[in-house]
Amino acid sequence: MTILDKIIADKYKEVSLKKSIVSMSHLERSALFGRETSSLSAALKASDTGIISEFKRRSPSKSVINQTASVQDVASGYENAGVCGMSVLTDGKYFGGSLDDVLLARASAQLPILRKEFIVDEYQIIEAKSYGADVILLIAAVLTRDEIKALSETAKSLGLDVLLEVHNLEELQKSIMPSLDMLGVNNRNLKTFEVSTDISKELATHIPDDFVKVSESGISSVAAIKDLQPYGYQGFLIGENFMKTKNPGHSALEFINELKG
């Protein structure tokens, strides 16, 4: 079993248990469920930097990244830095995150928030909306085309943006459909955890222009972004590069200033 297989197996169990504790109708009564969402894809289209910053405490590949930063401080710091959106990891077992992190980020900043999660069930999309997220992530590697269609259409019906993540051409070709807003290419090989932006370059020409192109993982320099922009990428998801510093918001500000310069 790969690490991804283990995460997904655990996720099905977790969602099943959650459903037995908190019903979908209960989630739909959340004060935030009726909130008008902010579009990340629109923010990326309007931006000349396209930075999506991340809040991540740890990961299976890097273990501890930052266990001391508060999500409220990081969210307000990122917003002050001028990022387009903020990705918040909500998986507990492997990434040390929770839905409460989305809630606290929402209370601290107005920017679009992506719930970064291994989504396998409509229930998680209802959760995302009820905790104040604006965007959901779908991972093509763990979903069939029919599942991608059903989940993305559910998200769109709730006013949420959809970022679909792919790792290769096969995943991309099975996934292209009108209910997606952004197509993200993950530069990290989920089997080996090796990182290379070459995959973003290879897949760029296969992504139709209707979608905002996002490059994810392994982007740690302004040079890497400038290298990818000619390929049509408008979004750049940066996680560990900011989170491994003492003040992620300040690191993001310095990075964006350098990128603009």
Calpha distance 88→58 (Å, rounded) = 12
Instruction: Indicate if 226 belongs to the active site.
Output: no
Of the candidates 11, 56, 129, 213, the residue annotated as catalytic is 56
From 59, 152, 186, 187, active-site residue? 186
Given 217, 240, 241, 251, the catalytic residue: 217
Among residues 79, 171, 216, 240, the one annotated as catalytic is 216
d(CA 236, CA 242): 13
Is 202 annotated as catalytic? no
Question: What type of residue sits at position 154?
Answer: T
- Is residue 39 among the annotated active site residues? no
Question: Catalytic pick from 53, 54, 108, 187?
Answer: 54
Strands (E), the chain: 51-55, 58-59, 63-64, 85-89, 113-116, 135-139, 161-166, 182-186, 212-216, 233-238
Q: Among residues 117, 165, 171, 240, which one is catalytic?
A: 165
Active site residue 216: yes
The answer to whether residue 54 is catalytic is yes
* Annotated catalytic residue within 53, 79, 108, 116: 116
Instruction: Mark whether 196 is an active-site residue.
Output: no
Which class for 245: exposed (0-12), middle (13-18), buried (19 or more C-beta within 10 A)? Answer: middle
DSSP helix/strand/coil, 47: coil
Residue 18 annotated in active site? no
* Catalytic residue set: 54, 56, 116, 165, 186, 216-217
